[in-house]
């Protein structure tokens, strides 16, 4: 399948309804594809279950039929933070010619406590929810283990945040667009759950993203698509510093694409917390286990490095509207491969990867994209 069009709203605090943001992102993707809803055979949508805001709507497929004024097959794929990637993976496996994949979330219409309570439902119910093991705490425990086993430091985590803020400052769609965040500010921000400081954590935003895929040839081809899962309770895992689902999905996607990790030109990974970006370096094969810190220290994953990662600003600084995140990653990769990323443009980008995660590594999707025009295939 090919990507025909992409679109997204700005990720921020704008007081728009979730439906209006989904509609905006979809219209932008359709416009980019030179299509209308008349050309679309089916829609795959991802939204989060149980958000206690004024727009809670579980029967979203029917709502989209009303929104787009068209009766058509609509499938909803909920996978919390991994929903966008899971929806894209699902859409690629449907037998339709043209499919719209869309996701959107309005998180900031309620209190921080309610958002926290809602997101906690994605954790294991009997033990982790009961003990109040919030995601910052859960991932802080993972970070502590990584530090103990691999000598990763708080400064390494801060460098991840700093890099992603540098990128977001140049991204008009990012929450921290034009915000000058210094490394010293990151390292002095309040502690949330040791070793995490406030600036190690992604920021909740309102936003939506959409992608149109087609079996008709276009400039961007999906050459690898994989999804895997692992045990929801983190205490059941052999090694907390490795997301096995990520490793397996990455290996499958590379095999499908017929490439190795060192052939990639640009990457978006799921940096809900700074440690997760370093772990993604390792699990996706950019370096050996425990050497993620060396990549960030060397500058290799900065925008002018050998393998730029999270050129959009990532979840950390672009923002994290839960289900829309995975599709926004794909939007960034497609625009990079098309040479349309402005100040953030990676030179000669031809192969890109997007990795999206739900929960603490519970569901992971990996997609690889190729600019076929640069290879003379379009």
Residues 6+ apart with CB under 8 A from 12: 175, 205, 206, 207, 319
Please, is 233 exposed, middle or buried when counting C-beta atoms within 10 Å of its C-beta (0-12, 13-18, 19+)?
Answer: middle
Helix or strand run (H / E) with residue 254: helix 244-257
Q: Among this protein's residues, is 81 annotated catalytic?
A: yes
Contact 175, 246 (CB under 8 A): no
Contact present, 355 and 284 (Cβ < 8 Å): yes
Q: Which of 146, 165, 270, 320 is catalytic?
A: 320
Catalytic (active site) residue 27: no
Selected catalytic residue, list 81, 201, 246, 287: 81
Take residue 234 and report the two structure tokens written for it. Answer: 């983190």
What is the torsional sign of CA 224, 94, 221, 12?
negative
| Alpha-carbon gap, residue 268 to 312, rounded angstroms | 8
Q: Supply the DSSP symbol for 309.
A: B
Parallel, antiparallel, or unpaired: how do β-strands 266-268 and 196-197 relate? unpaired
Catalytic sites, residue numbers: 81, 320
């Amino acid at each position: 399948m090919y990507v025909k069009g992409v679109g997204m709203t700005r990720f921020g605090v704008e007081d728009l309804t979730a439906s209006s943001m989904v509609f905006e992102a979809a219209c932008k993707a359709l416009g980019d594809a030179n299509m209308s809803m008349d050309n679309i055979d089916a829609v795959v949508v991802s939204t989060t279950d149980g958000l206690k805001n004024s727009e809670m709507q579980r029967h979203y497929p029917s709502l989209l039929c009303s929104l787009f004024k068209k009766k058509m097959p609509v499938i909803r794929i909920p996978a919390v933070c991994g929903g966008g990637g899971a929806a894209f993976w699902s859409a690629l496996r449907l037998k339709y010619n043209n499919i719209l994949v869309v996701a959107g979330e309005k998180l900031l219409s309620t209190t921080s406590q309610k958002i926290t309570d809602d997101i906690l439902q994605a954790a294991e119910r009997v033990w982790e929810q009961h003990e109040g093991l919030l995601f910052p705490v859960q991932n802080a425990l993972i970070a502590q283990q990584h530090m103990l086993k691999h000598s990763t430091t708080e400064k390494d985590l801060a460098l991840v945040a700093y890099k992603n803020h540098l990128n977001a400052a140049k991204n008009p769609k990012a929450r921290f667009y034009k915000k000058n965040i210094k490394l010293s500010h990151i390292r002095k921000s309040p502690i949330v759950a040791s070793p995490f400081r406030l600036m190690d954590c992604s920021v909740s935003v309102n936003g939506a993203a959409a992608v149109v895929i087609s079996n008709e040839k276009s400039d961007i081809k999906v050459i690898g698509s994989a999804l895997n899962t692992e045990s929801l309770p983190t205490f059941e895992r052999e090694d907390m510093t490795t997301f096995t689902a990520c490793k397996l999905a990455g290996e499958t996607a590379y095999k499908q694409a017929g490439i190795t990790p060192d052939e990639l030109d640009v990457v978006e990974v799921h940096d809900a917390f700074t440690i997760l970006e370093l772990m993604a370096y390792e699990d996706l094969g950019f370096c050996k286990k425990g050497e993620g810190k060396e990549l960030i220290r060397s500058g290799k994953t900065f925008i002018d490095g050998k393998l730029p990662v999270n050129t959009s600003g990532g979840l950390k600084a672009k923002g994290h509207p839960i289900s829309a995140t995975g599709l926004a990653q794909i939007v960034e990769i497609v625009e990079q491969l098309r040479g349309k990323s402005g100040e953030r443009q990676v030179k000669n980008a031809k192969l890109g990867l997007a990795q999206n995660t739900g929960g603490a590594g519970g569901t992971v999707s990996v997609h690889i994209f190729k600019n076929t025009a640069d290879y003379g295939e379009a």
